[in-house]
Amino acid sequence: MLGNFTYHNPTKLYFGEGALQNLAEELKNYQTVQLIYGGGSVKKNGIYDSVMKILKDSGKTVVEDGGVMPNPTTDKLNEGVEIARKHNVDLLLAVGGGSVCDYAKAVSVSVFCEEDPWEKYYIRFEEPTCKIVPVGCVLTMVGTGSEMNAGAVITNHAQKLKIGHVFGSKVMPKFTVLDPTFTYTVPKRQMVAGIYDAFNHICEQYFSGTDDNVSDYLSEALMKSLIVNSRAALKDPQNYQARSNIMWAATWALNTLIAQGKDTDWEVHMLGQAVGAYTDATHGMTLSAVSLPYYKHILPYGLQKFKRFAIEVWGVTPAGTDEEIALKGLKALEDWMGELGVAKNLTELGVTEDMIEGIADATLVMDGGYKVLSRPEIVSILKESL
Ligand code: NZQ
Ligand code: ZN
């Protein structure tokens, strides 16, 4: 049975080739723009120049804030907050992937916050009580869904923690430009990590509950679309149909729609984030490395959903025992992960046995999935993932 919910997603999307032309209209409400970007890809592929031209033609004052690293850190967050305060910016414009967009959101709730944002939002999980600086996004890398949600994941290297806070809808970007051609220059390793990330977001919301609800049917459609289009994008990264479908599916995978009215899991992400805190590895790869041992472990507790996943998503013939069918679904998932070329284990990401206890300490335990993991279960899943 669907639980009660209130659904509100205020992010305005401009989708398609040439969608950046809508930026000028959005800028009308703002004067001083903090232009946020990553390590330089936007300068190489020309997106920076296109954005800067629109900013200059619109007469905006631009304050640059580049160098946002994948898995943005507390140190960088503090730097961004200082820039915003010093120049009294009224728009944070993120031009990049999930890291850049997450960082902009974390800055947005911290500029007028007198407390330490890490302690307030990531340790105590409090909601912002201060003024929030608006965020806009020009997405250049697909996967996280950050472009249409209120999540912001920050890494604290000193504390060896990587934590996501899902804020309220006021923190969602006011607008996002989604031009699939902007993703053509994403390196293959990042493209497949992003595709697996989006796929796993759907799994996290699908592998929970035993009721019949709309979300699970929507999830199956999104997963099938990602599988088909990932294969096309691997063959030809400049296949517009494939890249645009992947972009749109990834946005829907985590704009909170498919989570409404049902339980969700998110344990693969908790394991992956803990791995990220120890290795700084690419987010999607941390998920792929732990997924199969985790799903095999919880399969007996959610057998009917794993069977449905096998049949509806992977087209497994419903013959044999429920467990045999369910395992064939996981085998199909494993084969597809092989096609993508995502990380198969934690060793590839630099995890060694002596890190396992620490990673287990950093893993948050969720209670919305098929099994609430005990500490020995977490350790055993991590060991199996090596
Ligand atoms: O830094 P630059 O030079 O821009 O290069 C980036 C970066 O190295 C590159 N890239 C991005 N667009 C490109 C490009 N290279 C060439 N051409 C382009 N068009 O790709 C690399 C990875 O970028 P990043 O933003 O780090 O990737 P992603 O979008 O996967 O974001 C990962 C971050 O998002 C968090 C992750 O934990 C991680 O910190 N997540 C955020 C979520 C959310 N807000 O809801 C949910 C996710 O589960 C995830 O946890
Ligand atoms: Zn993710």
Q: What is the CATH number of the domain that holds 126?
A: 3.40.50.1970
301 falls within a domain: yes
Pocket of ligand 1 contains residue 269 by CB under 6 Å? yes
7 falls within a domain: no
Closest ligand 1 atom to residue 37 Cα is 4
Percentage of the chain surpassing pLDDT 90? 99
Residues 210 and 168 placed together within one structural domain of the fold: no
Pocket of ligand 1 contains residue 145 by CB under 6 Å? yes
Q: Distance of CA 234 to CAs 97, 209, 251, 351, 370, Å?
A: 20, 33, 20, 28, 33
Residues 317 and 332 placed together within one structural domain of the fold: yes
Angle of CA points 222, 177, 249, to nearest 5°:
5
Q: What is the CATH number of the domain that holds 372?
A: 1.20.1090.10
Closest-approaching ligand to the CA atom of 199:
2
Pocket of ligand 1 contains residue 46 by CB under 6 Å? no
Residues 364 and 346 placed together within one structural domain of the fold: yes
* pLDDT tens, position by position, 168-197: 999 999 999 999 999 999 999 999 999 999
Listed residues 182, 199, 231: the one ending a domain: 182
Closest ligand 1 atom to residue 284 Cα is 30
Residues 59 and 145 placed together within one structural domain of the fold: yes
Residues 130 and 212 placed together within one structural domain of the fold: no
Closest residue to atom 46 of ligand 1, CA basis:
144
Residues 345 and 240 placed together within one structural domain of the fold: yes
Pocket of ligand 1 contains residue 97 by CB under 6 Å? yes
Average pLDDT over residues 121-127: 97
Helix (H/G/I), strand (E/B), else coil: 256:
coil
- The total of structural domains in the chain comes to 2
1 falls within a domain: no
5 falls within a domain: no
Residues 133 and 209 placed together within one structural domain of the fold: no
Nearest of 208, 338, 190 to residue 268 by alpha carbon: 208
* Ligand 2 centroid distance, CA of 204 (Å): 9
- 69: Cβ–Cβ under 8 A, 6 or more apart, which residues? 38, 39, 76, 99
In DSSP notation, 6-69 reads ------EEEESTTGGGGHHHHHTT-SEEEEEE-SSHHHHSSHHHHHHHHHHHTT-EEEEE--PP
* Ligand 1 centroid distance, CA of 123 (Å): 23
Q: Distance of CA 108 to CAs 5, 78, 134, 316, 331, Å?
A: 26, 11, 7, 46, 42
Taking the CA atoms of residue 244, residue 250, residue 256 and residue 257 in that order, the dihedral angle to the nearest 10 degrees is: 50
139 lies in which domain range? 12-182
Cβ atoms of 288 and 189 within 8 Å: the answer is: no
* pLDDT tens, position by position, 225-256: 999 999 999 999 999 999 999 999 999 999 99
53 falls within a domain: yes
Listed residues 182, 202, 235: the one ending a domain: 182
Task: Report the mean per-residue pLDDT for the chain.
Answer: 97
* Ligand 2 centroid distance, CA of 198 (Å): 6
